[in-house]
Structure 1
Amino acid sequence: MKVYVGNISRHISDEQFHALALPFGNADSVSVPRDVESGRTKGYGFLDFANRDEALATIAGLNGKDIDGQILNASEANAARGVRRF
């Protein structure tokens, strides 16, 4: 199950992002999109879990959490989000 986490720091590393989920479960992979020119994150990332219960625990644990003054929003990633169909 893929988890979307928004409003993350523009300076977070992949390792730091992965560590956010560790209290709830071990993500199999992480993806933090970055701006090509600045190298800063785009403010969101994804965590992939093989275990659905760990993914749901991560969503519950991170959604609304204050990290360095930024309130995270976490939800199940929606493959159709942001996709334009013509």
Structure 2
Amino acid sequence: MSIYVGNLSYDVTDADLSGAFAEYGTVKSVKLPTDRETGRPRGFGFVEMSKDAEEEAAIEALDGAEWMGRDLKVNKARPKTNSGGGTGW
């Protein structure tokens, strides 16, 4: 399972996010997507932790919490879907 973290500051780093979630358990990975054209962070990220119980504790504690001047949106990440994006021809 992966955790979606939204409404992040554009100044956040992988290390910042990992540190915030490490309080709740072992962080396996952190991904902060960037805009393809500008290279700027997109304001959200994904965190994967070692155990489901750790992820649940982090979600419970951090959803709605103020961090780096923003109110976080934290929940279970939904599986990526193929939105098409092309012309379908």
Normalising by the residue count of structure 1, what TM-score does the alignment of the two structures yield? 0.86
Instruction: Give the percent of matched residue pairs that are identical in Structure 1 and Structure 2.
Output: 31
Q: How does 1:28-67 map to 2 (within 5 A)?
A: 28-67=28-67
Unpaired stretches in structure 2, ≥5 consecutive residues: none
Does 1:27 pair with 2:27? Answer: yes
**How far off its partner does 1:36 sit?**
3.8
Extract unaligned runs of 5+ from structure 1.
none
Per-residue deviation, 1:34: 1.4
| Greater C-alpha radius of gyration | 2
CA distance in 1, matches of 2:33, 2:10: 10
CA distance in 2, matches of 1:17, 1:40: 16
Please give the secondary structure, in 1, of the residue aligned with 2:27.
coil
Give the whole-Å Cα distance in 2 for the aligned partners of 1:48 and 1:67: 19
Q: 1:83 to 1:12 in 2, by over 3 A?
A: same
How many angstroms apart in 1 are the aligned matches of 2:21 and 2:68? 16
Counterpart amino acid of residue 17 in structure 1: L
Tell whether 2:83 aligns with 1:84: yes
Note the aligned Cα RMSD (angstroms).
1.8
Give the alignment's TM-score, normalised by structure 2: 0.83
Q: After TM superposition, what 4+ stretches of structure 1 lie above 6 angstroms from structure 2? A: none
Residues in 1 aligned to 2:37 and 2:78: alpha-carbon distance in whole angstroms: 27
Partner residue, 2:13:
13
